[in-house]
Each structure stands twice: as C-alpha cells, then as structure tokens.
Chains A and B, each alone.
Chain A
Amino acid sequence: MPDVSLTVDGRKLTAPAGTLLIEACKSAGIEVPSFCYYPNLPLQGACRMCVVKVEKMPKLQTACTTVVTEGMIVATDSDEVRQARKAMVELLLGNHPLDCPVCDAGGECELQDMTFSYGAAESRFMEAKNHREEQQWSPVAYFDRPRCILCYRCVRVCGEAMDVWALGVQNRGVNSVIAPNQDDHLECEECGMCIDICPVGALTSGAYRYKTRPWEMNHVGTVCTHCGDGCKTTLGVRRCDTGMEIVRGDNRDKSGINNDFLCIKGRYAFDFAHNDERLTQPLIRKNGKLTPSTWEEAFGLIGKRFAEVRDKDGGSAIGVVGSNRTTNEENYLLSKFARVVLKTNNLDHHRTADYAAFAAALHGKPGKTASMREVFNAPAMLLIGNDPTNQHPLLAWQIRNNVRLHRSRLYVINSAPIKLRRQTAGFGLVPTGAEARAIAFLAGDDSLLDSLVSDITNRDAWSALRDKIRAEQNLVIAFGSELRGADIQKLVNFASSLTAVKLICLSDYANSRGAADMGLYPDLLPGYQPASSADKFHHEWGGLPTEKGLSLPEMVDAAKAGKLKALYVVGSNPIGRLSIDPFVFSKSFVVVQDMFLTETATIADVVLPAANAYEKSGTCTNTCGDLQLVKKAGEVTGTKPDFEMIVRIADAMGFDVRKLVPFGGGTHADMGQTRGAQSGEADRHAVWLEAHNLEPKMTPFDPIAILDEIQRLVAGYDVSRINLLAGNDQHIEIAESGPSVLHKPELIVPANDDLFSSGTLGRYSHTLNSVMENKPAETDVAAD
C-alpha cells in the first residue's frame, strides 16, 4: 500500500494508507491514550480517550477510528484535547470505587495511569456511587462491576478472538453491565483472556487475587510447560517459605510467539509446582517402603547398582525412559548418558507424534516446516486430524485469528466436527481413522471417494474441497497424530506436488519435539541419526552401542521376561499414562526422577525429587520446531533439576563427567570460537549470560555448557545464540536431520489431553481440578 504523509504535533510522519491514526502515532512514539482500542480487536470508539484535534474537523476526532489521510494535520496534546481526556477520566472516576489499595490491578491499572497523566484526582461529585456486589463467575473469574469502565475488551476478546462468546453487555446506559453467559456464572474455555485484557481490576483471577501487590513480584519470561505449543509466559514470582513461589502467569508484554494469548493451563496451571504433594527429599525403598534419605545415599546407591548391572549383564539389561517435559539439554544429556555411560540403546519416551517419520519424509527438503508465527500469516491452512481448540490452544488461536484478521482460508479434514470448523472455507468429515485415505484422495486417488462421504461432506463437497486445496498457492498444513509412518510420507509427497507448502507435525507435550530431536529413541541419536551409523557421534562421544535398542513396549516385555535388570525413568509416568502393569518391573531396579509420587514412582527403588520446567534453565522446542529459552522462575527447596541428577549419577558411577558435560577449561567443546564468522560468540555469550542473570558458572550442572554441543552436533539447532539468549524464538529445520527409520505406528500414543487436563501434571493443579469440578456434567455422552 502506498504511504501517506501527515503531520502530528508538528512532526512529519508517513504511514501506509489505511493505517489508523492511533497506530500511526504509536509507531512514531506518540502515545495516544485509549481504553477501548485494542489492536486486532474490532473498533469501538466508546471510551473517547483517544480524541485528537484534526485540522478542518469541527469536533475532536477519535484517533482509534480515524484512518490517516494525505496531508492530515493532527494535534494530540493541545489544551482542548487534554481537557477532554481529563473530563473523561473524571467521569469514570465518579462511579469508580477507588479501592486501589486493595485492588489486584493497583499499580498496573490503566485508569490509575490515566488519572496520573491527566490529573483528574479532585472529585466534582458528591453523590453516592452506583454500587453492585462482586460476583464470582467461575473458580478463576471474578467480576466487580463498580470497577468496570465498559471498554468491552473482554467481550470482544472472548467473542471475536476466542470464538467463545461467553460475555455480553446487558441493560442500558449507566446500568450497563458485562454479563456472563449463564446468568450468574460462566461456561467457557476459562482462558482468562478477559481478565488479562481488562485495563482495570474489574475482572480478576481466582488464582491471583489478593495474593500480592504487583511491585512485590519479580517477573521471569519463560515457556509454558503444558502443551506442545510453547507459549511464552511471564511468571510473576515472589519469595516464600519453600523458595520462590509462582503467583501469576501472563504475557502482557506480547513478547512471544503467542502475542498476549495464554490458555487456562498457561495462565493458571503453574500451581502444580506448589502442590503439597511435591517430593522434596530423595526416597529409597527400605524393607519394601520408600523411606526419606539423603542425596549422597541415593546417588551412591543408584551409581553402584547401575554400574553393577551394566558390568554384569551389559548395557542391554538397562532401560531408560526420558521425558517430554524436560529441556533439550536434559534430553540430550540423557541420550548421551544412556549410550555413553550406561552403554545402552534401550531408550525411549512417550511418543505422541511420529517425528521420526516426519524427519525422514522431509530429509533434504529444506524450508518445508512452518513456525507458530507463520500460522498467523499463512494465506491458507489445512488441518488434518487433531482438535487444536482442546489440544493446541495457541495453534487454534493463530488459525482463528488469521482467518478473522487476514481472511486466510482454512480447510479442515477431521473425524469430528471440531470447533474450528466454524472458521473453515471447506470442511471434510472423514470416518475415524480415514485421514490417510483423505490425503490419498487429495493426491488424486478417486477410488477412495466412496469411503469418505458422509452427511456433512458428500461427493461434491469432497471434490470441491480438493479443488480448493490444490488451487492454494501458499499453504500451511498441520496434522495430528492420526497420521504416522508411511502416511506422513504420503502427505509430504502430496504437499510437494503443490506450489508452496509448509508443514507442522503436532505433538502433545511441551518438549515432545525436543525429546525426539535429542534422540530419545532406541535406534536414533540426536538429530534422527541412526544409532547404527552416526559417525560424528561416535567420534565425539566415544564408543557407543550400535545395535538397535528396545522401545518402551519392548522394555516392558523384557522386564516381564526378567531380562531388564534396571530401569531409569526421568520425568515420565509410563505406568500411569500408558497403562503398563506395575508388577512387570518388580524384579528390576527402578529409579524415578519426578516431582510427585506418580504411579511409576510408587514402584521405584529410588525416587529423586525433581525440579520442573519453571524451576530450571535451558531450551525447549515446540511442536512446530520453534526453539525457545526456558528460564528459572520458581524454586522449591529440596529438589534438583534433572540435568544435575543425571550428572551426579554418572559421577557416582565413576564416569568422568567432563566427558559428559564439556564444562570449564580443557574440554573439547569450543564454545563457538572456531566458527569463523561467528567467532567471538563465546564472549558475547558470557555477556548475555551475565545480563540475563544466568550466572556463567561453567559447572557440570550448567545446561548452557552442553547447549554448545547441541548446536554443533544436532542438525538444525545451529541457530543464533544471541537471539536465543535474548529470549527470541527461532525455527529449527528438521530437514537437515538424518534419514530416519520408520517405526511401528502403535508406538505413537496420543496424550488425549484437553483444555483442562495436562497429563500427570494436570492432576496436581488445584486450578485445573476446581475448574473441572465446576463444569456441568456432560449431557448425553451417547455411546454410538
């Protein structure tokens, strides 16, 4: 679009035609105040705070609804304008309770700020203020009408942006009130966006209210640990008896891939971290009972037993299960530890997506994966399987708002009429499990059409859908775990036949992608390198076992057969999540690192109390392959990060930990100096570490010490360290990975979490539980 030039407060500006005056001003650093204006939400023109003087216009104009025009002359700070704004604030304060000292929003309230700027502190009003009692709308949402300034942000974010439409406006005039959909309570997705977006303290969160004052918190920007989308979240933390407590989660600074979006889990479900059932001492089974002990005793015992088994029965008698929620550094370390120290390839994790097949299909095809940011701007999108509203809330948000704001075209192929169908330009309902057939049909196989038709999508609709999809010049395809193995290859082949396509393989946990990328596989090393032939790892890590290891189900079988003598489970609950008979491990020496006494921990011989993702640093990779920095926010005394525990076990086994973690001087990790154009990065690295309070200790427990090795050895991870440490997301190319091995489709087991559950973690979140309990019982869940 051509630019227009205008003059604001005597300064010459240019802005693309069609820009709103308020945005043009903002880009030039001229702040025009507003309550009701909110980027990407429908215009309201309701609060009148943004009034400015536009030359040749008789009245003041609202900058939020005025589009810039050539030659426009604007004054944003004249006496007339200031007076108008001051009067607006005075009027608002007239009925405002001014209970700032006890208001959650006190200190970060837009009305307070505005009062401060326009000096409307003196009251002209004597009469009683209109009063109404505060209401509780849900376990997490409270509404205080007197504080509400009716900016309608909540109504719009709930309706337009979330497509939930649970809030409305009732009554008229001064009696107008924001109302929830169920008379006196809310039935919704509980995302809390309404609370987040409220400029004052009218909507407050049950999780945060009355807990602290904003200025008493420290804020740490990190990554949400719940689903695979990897939302950036800013955690508000403060000191408490047991360390550092997380009291709030939001992304008000819009700094991440999620802009200001968070779902219920990201916003409130950090509370598992302070669950009373948190383990804070190592436990050792003595006389059949798990008994508190010391770290020294625990590591000593584990080291001794692991070494015994390895030396007597061989590494193949040991199984290792990694985690979808630990960091890349921890997963990489575990992968290395298993192979180098335990001498086993019996390594696996709870796979919720077939990344191995995805990597194989895209091997050597660069630029074919889409980032989460790209979803928001793609001209067209195809979703196959999955229900993002429940399983990938951020992805759903990106898709929905891309359709709404950019008129992107969405096509959905699903076995259920998922909520996102409301945004579709084409919807294909397939019989359960027939997603792959639909792809074959899209690719041109008409013989399958009959098996796809349904009431919702008949033959013509399928043909029309195919034509539309094939006509797209620029498409992002996201697919769920319905597609595995060879089906992914077929999808990639179809995608390659279209003009420009990028793909996203959807997985369920915060670092599922990272677990796969870091080689938590029995036959694949980091970067999907086959364990049998990955020369660079042999070279770097030293002697590795090359025979194919056991997958998780095979480990179970081996345990049944008495051949698995030891099992090391890091941050995973396979017994609880994968319905494994707990008795099969009764003859194995089982070590579990976890936060809670999970089903798996209950049968362990040693349980080590672990820190969670909010309590450590490192990186993780989301479902799209976006790499982000994880920063330590909370702390619970008595726990340790998995990274440290792995290193301590290696040490207890008598292994030289320098060979595991290249820390300090004299290691063969080069910290980046030899990388030509990027040399000198190590210095910058140090500066960054210092600037970001990451304390460059260079101890064997510093995960950053191994990041360099990851960047060097894991294909695709060689991204800018500076950007990473600055908190920016960076996309990882899976195409550079090694040609992978096709696995059995049964190895993929979806987590089946929805908005209100989060694997084992979710069970320990009071907030999620209270919201679940508050939901009305499902009416007729017909067994059809």
Chain B
Amino acid sequence: MKFSEEFESRFTEMLTHYPTKRSVLVPTLLYAQDEIGSLTGEIIAELAQRLDLTELEVRNVISYYSMLTTKPRGKYNVQVCTNIACMLRGGEELLDHCKKKLGIGHKGTTQDGLFALEEVECIGACSWAPAIQVNYDFHENLTIEKMDKVLDEYRKKGTQ
C-alpha cells in the first residue's frame, strides 16, 4: 500500500500525539480516503496492521462515520445541507435542482465520475444558509443561479 509522503509524515507525527496508537484512526482514515478516493479493503488491511487492530475493528469505525466511505464516489462531492436552517431558506430546492442538473440522486455519482451528490445534515453554516460543501469547500448564501455557477466552475476545473 503506497500513500503519499505527506500522508506518511503526517501519520508518523500523529502517532506521537497520543498514548495509544489507535487514537489516530479516525483522522487517518479521512486522510487516506482523501488520497485514494475511498477506503478500499487494501487500506483497511494496511491501517489495521499498522495500528494493531483487526480489520473488523477498522470496519466498525468506518461504518460509524458519515464522511467515511468504502465505495468510490465522484471527484467533486456536492453536499447539500437540507437541515432546518437551510431548509427554511431553500436548501431542499437546491438539492432538487442539483438532482435534476446532475441527473443523479442522493449518494449517486455522475457517469463521467466528476460529481457525486449527497444530502447532508447541518454543516455549520446556518447563518449563511442555504449552504453546500463541495468536498471541503463551503459555498454559502446560495440561490439556484449561484448554484449553477458553482457547479459550472467545478466542471471546468475538473475537465481541464
């Protein structure tokens, strides 16, 4: 299993932060996923071995956290918040719009692998609702028009 140098140095450093090895598990899984795209069996086996855990334990943890996934998904994960604050300001309409525009549903990935769509719970942008995150980037105070622009920009970036 080959991770980037950045991953490795972060991993090595993180191990020094805690009295037990397994404490690095949750953030490490997220970094591994960011790098590989999803948490493959190979990653699970590798991290289990590095942290003296069983693969079962690693899977137990992965399946608990919403952001972690064992299935590959699109390059840009469009996460539309529809929780109360966003809902009051049009979050659901944004989601519907994305569904139509991208032609995919909740947790779907477009055929070209560029976009994935996810309806998410509150992302901490309630005062700037409606808001979405594309991967880790926030886009706030959205309207349908602004949403289109955001998607177009990512499409451009992704197909360059």
Contact = CB atoms under 8 A, between A and B. Distances in A.
A177 to B, nearest CB: 9
B64 A179 contact: no
Interface string B62-75: 01101000000000
Interface stretch (A165-173, A321-329, A348-356, A539-547): A165-173
A172 B60 CA distance: 10
Interface stretch (B4-12, B14-22, B50-58): B50-58
A171 B57 CA distance: 12
A434 to B, nearest CB: 30
B63 A171 contact: yes
B89 interface: no
A473 interface: no
Contacts of A169: 60
B63 A172 contact: yes
A677 to B, nearest CB: 58
Nearest to B58: A168
Contacts of B56: 165-168, 179-181
Interface in B54-106: 54-57, 59-60, 63-64, 66
Interface residues of B, number: 9
A170 B55 CA distance: 12
Interface string A157-184: 0000000011111111000000111000
A168 B60 contact: yes
B32 to A, nearest CB: 19
A169 B59 CA distance: 9
Contacts of B64: 170-172
A557 to B, nearest CB: 53
B54 A165 contact: yes
Nearest to A175: B63
B59 A170 contact: yes
A165 B59 CA distance: 13
Nearest to A167: B56
A193 B54 CA distance: 20
Interface in B34-60: 54-57, 59-60
A172 B67 CA distance: 13
A426 B57 CA distance: 27
Contacts of A166: 56
Contact of B63 (A165, A167, A170, A180): A170
Contacts of B66: 172
B59 A179 contact: yes
A130 B113 CA distance: 31
Contacts of A171: 63-64
Nearest to A181: B56
A165 B54 CA distance: 9
Interface in A127-174: 165-172
Interface string A177-198: 0011100000000000000000
Nearest to A170: B63
A779 to B, nearest CB: 14
A168 B66 CA distance: 18
A160 to B, nearest CB: 14
B22 to A, nearest CB: 14
A456 B56 CA distance: 28
A408 B49 CA distance: 30
A196 to B, nearest CB: 21
Nearest to B55: A181
B60 A179 contact: yes
B60 A170 contact: yes
A181 B63 contact: no
B54 to A, nearest CB: 6
A755 to B, nearest CB: 19
Contacts of B59: 168, 170, 179
Interface string A479-505: 000000000000000000000000000
Contacts of B55: 181
Contacts of A165: 54, 56-57
Nearest to A172: B64
Nearest to A166: B56
A522 B71 CA distance: 69
B60 A181 contact: no
Contacts of A172: 63-64, 66
Nearest to B63: A170
Nearest to A155: B60
B64 to A, nearest CB: 5
Nearest to A187: B56
A45 to B, nearest CB: 19
Given A171-B64, A179-B60, 16 more contacts: A165-B54, A165-B56, A166-B56, A168-B57, A168-B59, A168-B60, A169-B60, A170-B59, A170-B60, A171-B63, A172-B63, A172-B66, A179-B59, A180-B56, A181-B54, A181-B55
17 contacts: A165-B54, A165-B56, A165-B57, A167-B56, A168-B59, A168-B60, A170-B60, A170-B64, A171-B64, A172-B63, A172-B64, A172-B66, A179-B56, A179-B60, A180-B56, A181-B54, A181-B55
Interface of A: 165-172, 179-181
Q: Which 3 A-B pairs have the closest CB atoms?
A: A168-B60, A170-B63, A181-B56
